[in-house]
Amino acid sequence: QVQLVESGGGLVQPGGSLRLSCVASGVTLSSTTIHWFRQAPGQEREGISCSSSNSIFTRYATSVAGRFTISRDNAKNTVYLQMSNLKPEDTATYYCAANHLDDFCQANRTSHWDAWGQGTQVTVSS
């Protein structure tokens, strides 16, 4: 059974940085594509980044491109989301999700997912 655990969220001032981690268990990370989503209160869950299982594809939503960087350490079964130049509108609960069928980072929130993490809260405020 695939399980994902996010960590690294917290309170940060505008312009600051955070690094989120998504640790996977029950799966070999190198065979699984990992997406990061976020959801703010009253809003739909938004896909913001993806790292494909073959490490060929990475994708970013327009809202985070140039500020967020996704990376993976397959030896540690961990995917990271480095977030820089954070803005108040980045405030949300951040989730990672696994999809072993999504070789090209094309899945969306309505696709089949092997597992979701429990989420980690990111608050950007002065």
Determine the pLDDT at residue 8.
98
Report the largest interatomic distance among the alpha carbons of the chain, rounded to a whole angstrom: 41
Q: pLDDT (tens digit, 9 = 90+) per residue, 53-83?
A: 988 899 999 999 999 999 999 999 999 999 9
Q: For strands 120-124 and 10-12, give the pairing.
A: parallel
| Under 8 Å between Cβ of 40 and 109 | no
For the chain, how far is it from start to end, CA to CA, in angstroms? 40
Average pLDDT on 121-126 reads 97
Tokens of 1: 């059974």
**CA separation for the pair 124, 82 (Å, rounded):** 15
Name the one residue in this structure whose structure tokens are 């059974």: 1
Is the pLDDT at 109 greater than 90, yes or no? Answer: no
Average pLDDT on 12-32 reads 95
Mean pLDDT taken over the chain: 95
